[in-house]
Structures are given as C-alpha cells and as structure tokens.
Chains A and B, each alone.
Chain A
C-alpha cells in the first residue's frame, strides 16, 4: 500500500525520466545529424530534467528500505507462518484469516483501544501544556531563553531512561509519588500504580506527557515567532483585549503549525514501544499492551509471525490515514 503511494507520488519523475531516455533513443536512431542530436542531449540535461535525477537515489532508497519491508510484511500477514514453516515447508495463503482472528482476540482489541486512548490522552495534555508554556516563554523576561532550553531536556533523554525513572517514581513501596501523596495525607496507603490495570495506563500517559511537552512547546514557539508584531499592535490600538487577540490573531495564524504539531505528535505517540516495554511490558494482565508491543510479543515471543505482522499492518493503516490528513493539511495551506 505504501509502495503504491510512493510510486504514485514519484510518477511525474518517472515519466520525465522515461521521456528523456525516449528522446535519446529517438535521437540516436533517427537523427544522424550530430548537431540535432547534441541539441536533444542538451535539452535533456536542462535544469528541470536534471532535478528529477536527484530524486532517483531517494526513490531507490525508499523502494528498497521502506517499500520492500512493507510489502513483505503485508504478504506475511496473509500467510500462516509460524515456527513450523518459517524456514522450510509451505507457507499457505490464508488471506484475511489472521485479521479475522485478531478482531476476535481480546488482547488485540484491548491493545487497539489502548493505543488510541493513550494517544488521545497524551496529545491533549502535551498540546495544552506545551501551548501554555510556549505562550509564557514568548514573553520577554529574564532567563526566558535559558529556561526554555532546559525544558527541552525531557525530549533529549533516551526513552528507556525516562521509562526506568518513571517506573521507580511510580513504584508502590519505594516510589517518590506515593511518598509525596502520603506526606500530603492524600492517600492512606500506598497506591499500586503499576500493578493495577487502570493506574498502570495512567502512569504510562504521565511519563509520555512529560516527554512530549517540549516537542509541542518548541514547535508552537517557532510558530509564534512567525506572527507579525504589527498585527498585535494594531489590535491593541483598536482596543482588543488579550482573549480577543488570542482567538482572532494567534490561533488562526497558528493553524498550520497546530495541525502539523498534532499530526506529528499523533504519529510519534501512536507507535510507542520502548516506554511501554520497559515500564510494564504490556502488563499487568495485558492491560497496557499497545499494538506495537503486542505485535512484538506475537512475533518474537510466541513465534506467530504472520499474526504479529497483521497487527503491525493495522498500525500501519491507521498511521497511513493520519499521514494523508497531514499531507492535506500541509498542502491546503499553501494553495490558499
């Protein structure tokens, strides 16, 4: 599916290149006059045509390293590959059986729902908090810039390190969070964050919000700097208050940025793997499995390669749909 998209997107380039070679062949066969031939060659190497050649390496790269695995994965998901026939024996095509079985599988349904729930919750909080911080740091005050820089740290720490840190923070008996809650008398006994299905998801969401805030903040900050100061000045002359300026100037002008931030955030959050793997490994009782972790478990722990790839493809299709929205959003702005 992805490769089809790649082919489609690259079609003009292919046509151009093919046309060029046709011209060469044509020139070589039918024009014996060297002069005319040279002209055709020169024409072929005109600026726009050469530009298309530069696309070629990227195209080949995508085809080999992106297109091929994706197509293999799709084929694999229509087969019945397991430990018995991975290396030898026949791989039968069972078409949609893997997918049908998956949709009857409780763990798969939980992980699909979890992935969506997790993504939406993370996005909402990351975005709102990131936005507020971006607005705050767009004011000029002492140390605004260094502090904003320090806030980037969560984004730079490797996710596995963050995951281990949060695992300790949320630990039942030795965790700092329980210690604080107890000291404030908000809870009588320790909360079993990571060993109770509902709260384990909450802990994961908290960890990921912490990671994602800087990403949202920085992109929105950049967006804010592109809004001309004059607009705010004239608005204040016209007597607009802060809320009016925000909703009539800041938000509409930030629309393209906001769309990009949300869609990129969605993609980054939706394919979460390492955070969940380290913090809960999908537990307790499969309650925090995501599509990615469940796919890994099926493929590499239980030897159900075809089912695992079917899960990965569900993930892929959802991200494809989001990707199309992203392209729509980014190109719509330019066409206006």
Chain B
C-alpha cells in the first residue's frame, strides 16, 4: 500500500511538473517549428558550422525573428558574402519566432546562452540595455545621418547600444477604386476620415481597419492617434487623450470599423484589405511586397495618417545589438560590413524596408513608388519609449484602447485607469 502511495505521489508530481518543465521544453521545440525554408537554411548552416570548426574561424551567431522568406534569403546572402570575403569569422544566423524572441533572450541572458548579435524590435531595446547584456557602441558607428528617432531607440543615458537596421512607420492605405466609386477625396483630417469611412462602409465592406490586439502590436497602431492630439504616451488622462479614445470608440459604434480588429494582427488587417473587405487600413510598408504579389490587380495607394491637431506616426523597425562578453570583435566586424551603404541598400530593397540612414532613404525610391509616402510620413514619426519599463506602459495604452473598443469602459474611465497605471511606472 505504501508503495502504491509513492507511485501515486510520483505520478501526480510528474503531471504537475509539466506546468514548469512544459514551459521550458516548449522553448526548445519551437526552435524546430520553423518555416520550412528556415529549417532548410538552419541545416545548411549547421553543416557549414561543422566545416568551420575544422577551419578555425571564430563563430559569430545572429538571432532574428523575420518569418518572411524574402527577408531570410536577403540576410543570408549578406552573411554568405561576408563569410566568403574573409576567413577570420564565420557568421551564422538563427531564426527565433517573434512570439518567442523576448522570452528566448531573457532565458538566454539568465542561462548565459546568448548569440553575439541580436536583431530586435526597437521598443524592446531599452529593456535589454537595462538588463546589461548589450555592448556600449558609442563612437564605433557613425549614426549622425540616421533618423533621430531610430538612434534614440537604441540610446540610453547618452550612450549608443545598437545600430538601427531599418526603419518603418505606419501610414494610411486606401482602396482607390472604392474611394472613386463613393466619390470621396483622400482624407487628411479625422473628420474627413470618419466621413469617408462612413461612405465606404457597405454590406460587406467596413470603412477602416487597424490592428487593435492587446499587446505591443496594438499599441504600435494606437499611438499615432493618441499623439496626433498632442497627448504623449505618459500623459493620457486629459482632454487630448480622451479625444483619441473617443474617436476610436466612435468608429466602432458607428460601424465603420469592425470590432474584430481586436483579434486581427497587422497581417490579418492586410489580408482583409486585399480581399476587399476593408476600404482603408493603417499599416506599414513591409506589407507592400506581399500585397503586390497576392493582389496585383488591386488599386491602392498610401497617404499620411489623417490628423487631429498634427500629423503623427509611430516609428518601427529593428536594431542590431551586440551582446557583451562574447565575440564582440567579430560582431563589430560583421556589423561594420553589414551597415556599409551598399549592403544597407541591398537589404532594404529586398526587405521592403526604408533605410534608417536619412541620406539613403531620401533617394531610395522613385517619386511615384508606394514607399514614398512612408518616407514622408517618417518626418512625423516618433519612437515608443525608449524606456526600460516600456512594455508596462504599452500594456496600459493597449488596454485603454481595447476597453473603449469593446465598450467595457468609457473613454474617461479608460484614460483615468491607464494614467494611474502609467503613473505607477513612470515617476
């Protein structure tokens, strides 16, 4: 009987243990849950890695989260060229899914299993600087011609902890045919936007869509509306902040924006747009290659996000960061190579990104290119943070917008609640 008791206890423990070990093992298994081409690349790289150990070159590893095949191929090509150009370092890249990227960096930091270079989402940069895993790069790269916002996103206390990879921002896409059919002009103010969206909304079409999920992706799409009123990310409970929340709430209540947006990622929003279910959307330039490939006959164009008080957009994109205490020399050598004008141009074109280097960006596209409005929008784009506690501030902002969208709070209540959370974080 006693032995039975022991086995029973062991069984229960093993079951409950999956709670904790379950978390751990999923981190490992998701490495293998890569897209096929990434898996292929990984195996290729493994073989080159094996060859390289006998060759004697020092290994430099990169983590990135782009799941788009074109992005992976372009990065890989630059890496291959770099490896062929010298024999001191051998660079390999590893794909970590976006949903897991922050978790993997955190786990890696505490277990001392980090790459040499991380290409990460810019609003998270400050948190990892705070963690102390990034190398101080002040004076090692010339970023004077880069967009100020992008440089700020990797600068903490006046020190440079990263190099901007590429830059993007949000703008308003509109379906030209639908606008023409409804006899609408391209909207430039909130009032015009609402009127246009009303006219465009029909049986199977809603006027406007923007990704409203309750996480960083949602915050990214909300802040242009917030900032356009003159409110800041840290100061919401005032008439400006409330006006932004009321505007979004109004779009939902009048049926010109679907409540489903709270479950739509930016990719989902784009799919709704190219399927013709949505007439206008807020989205970024990285959607352009997919849209051109999937819906070549769709007539669409891009314009600035309509303004309340002033034009506003949000700065997105990735930064390179060098992990300290590892192969810093090798990482710097590769970064110097990858940030040269020629390589930047090559990658930006393949990625559908805008260069973070202002001098390159301004001549990067033809005047009638759909990317050009984004370059213009960049002049109004501001970064989120940089702040180590940004994830918590972001959570408060996306929660407030979700509350008004789902009707669980009035704009006044949502603004007050968000403000009290933010005041608890930023003192």
**Is A303 touching B391 in the complex (CB atoms < 8 A)?**
yes
B1 at the interface (CB under 8 A from A): yes
Q: 8 Å CB contacts to B: which residues of A247-299?
A: 264, 267, 271, 273, 280-287, 292, 296, 299
A302 at the interface (CB under 8 A from B): yes
Interface residues of B, count at CB 8 A: 52
Q: 8 Å CB contacts to A: which residues of B194-219?
A: 213-216
Given contacts A284-B262, A285-B409, A303-B388, 10 further A-B contacts (CB under 8 A): A69-B17, A84-B388, A264-B15, A267-B16, A283-B214, A284-B402, A301-B102, A330-B8, A331-B1, A331-B4
**Is B391 touching A69 in the complex (CB atoms < 8 A)?**
no
**Is A303 touching B127 in the complex (CB atoms < 8 A)?**
yes
C-alpha spacing A205/B15, complex, angstroms: 22
Shortest distance between the CB of B33 and any CB in chain A (Å):
10
**B contact residues around A172 at 8 Å (CB):** 258-260
Shortest distance between the CB of A331 and any CB in chain B (Å):
5
**Is B214 touching A334 in the complex (CB atoms < 8 A)?**
no
Q: Do A334 and B19 form a contact, CB below 8 Å, given A285-B402, A326-B12?
A: no
Of the listed stretches A130-138, A139-147, A194-202, A212-220, name the one at the interface; the rest are far from the partner chain. A194-202
Which residues of B approach A to under 8 Å, CB–CB?
1-2, 4-6, 8-10, 12-24, 102-103, 106, 109-110, 127-128, 130-133, 213-216, 258-260, 262-263, 388, 391-392, 395, 399, 402-403, 405-406, 408-409
A87 at the interface (CB under 8 A from B): yes
**Is A83 touching B130 in the complex (CB atoms < 8 A)?**
yes
Shortest distance between the CB of A214 and any CB in chain B (Å):
18
Instruction: Point out the residue from B24, B110, B388, B406 that lies within 8 Å of A285, measured CB to CB.
Output: B406
**Is A69 touching B13 in the complex (CB atoms < 8 A)?**
no
Shortest distance between the CB of A295 and any CB in chain B (Å):
9
C-alpha spacing A48/B352, complex, angstroms: 70
Q: Say whether chain B's binding surface is mostly helix, strand, loop, or mixed.
A: helix
**Is A73 touching B8 in the complex (CB atoms < 8 A)?**
no
**Is A301 touching B133 in the complex (CB atoms < 8 A)?**
no
Shortest distance between the CB of B2 and any CB in chain A (Å):
7
**Is B106 touching A300 in the complex (CB atoms < 8 A)?**
yes
**Is B8 touching A83 in the complex (CB atoms < 8 A)?**
no
Shortest distance between the CB of B420 and any CB in chain A (Å):
12
Shortest distance between the CB of A193 and any CB in chain B (Å):
10
C-alpha spacing A315/B402, complex, angstroms: 27
**A contact residues around B133 at 8 Å (CB):** 87
Chain B minimum-CB-distance residue to A330: B8
Of the listed stretches A4-12, A19-27, A114-122, name the one at the interface; the rest are far from the partner chain. A4-12
A: contact size bracket? 35 or more
As a 0/1 sequence over residues 152 to 174 of chain A, the CB contacts with chain B under 8 angstroms (1 = contact) are 00000000000000010001110
Instruction: Point out the residue from B8, B24, B132 that lies within 8 Å of A87, measured CB to CB.
Output: B132
Q: Do A282 and B21 form a contact, CB below 8 Å, given A2-B13, A6-B13, A83-B128?
A: no
Q: Do A302 and B395 form a contact, CB below 8 Å, given A9-B5, A197-B406?
A: yes
**B contact residues around A10 at 8 Å (CB):** 6
C-alpha spacing A35/B18, complex, angstroms: 50
Chain B minimum-CB-distance residue to A10: B6
As a 0/1 sequence over residues 298 to 336 of chain A, the CB contacts with chain B under 8 angstroms (1 = contact) are 011111110000001001100110010011001100110
Instruction: Point out the residue from B14, B22, B131 that lies within 8 Å of A83, measured CB to CB.
Output: B131
A47 at the interface (CB under 8 A from B): no
A46 at the interface (CB under 8 A from B): no
A95 at the interface (CB under 8 A from B): no
A97 at the interface (CB under 8 A from B): no
Shortest distance between the CB of B211 and any CB in chain A (Å):
13
Instruction: Point out the residue from B1, B102, B216 that lies within 8 Å of A334, measured CB to CB.
Output: B1
**Is A84 touching B131 in the complex (CB atoms < 8 A)?**
yes
C-alpha spacing A5/B9, complex, angstroms: 8
**Is A300 touching B9 in the complex (CB atoms < 8 A)?**
no
Shortest distance between the CB of B392 and any CB in chain A (Å):
5
**Is B102 touching A319 in the complex (CB atoms < 8 A)?**
no
17 residue pairs from A and B, CB less than 8 Å apart: A83-B130, A173-B258, A267-B15, A281-B215, A285-B403, A296-B23, A300-B106, A301-B395, A303-B127, A303-B131, A304-B392, A305-B106, A316-B20, A319-B19, A320-B16, A326-B8, A334-B1
**Is A283 touching B213 in the complex (CB atoms < 8 A)?**
yes
A62 at the interface (CB under 8 A from B): yes
**Is A62 touching B406 in the complex (CB atoms < 8 A)?**
no
A86 at the interface (CB under 8 A from B): yes
Shortest distance between the CB of A91 and any CB in chain B (Å):
11
A243 at the interface (CB under 8 A from B): no
Q: Do A283 and B19 form a contact, CB below 8 Å, given A5-B9, A302-B392?
A: no
A70 at the interface (CB under 8 A from B): yes
**B contact residues around A282 at 8 Å (CB):** 214
**Is A66 touching B17 in the complex (CB atoms < 8 A)?**
yes
C-alpha spacing A16/B32, complex, angstroms: 44
**Is A301 touching B215 in the complex (CB atoms < 8 A)?**
yes
**Is A327 touching B12 in the complex (CB atoms < 8 A)?**
yes
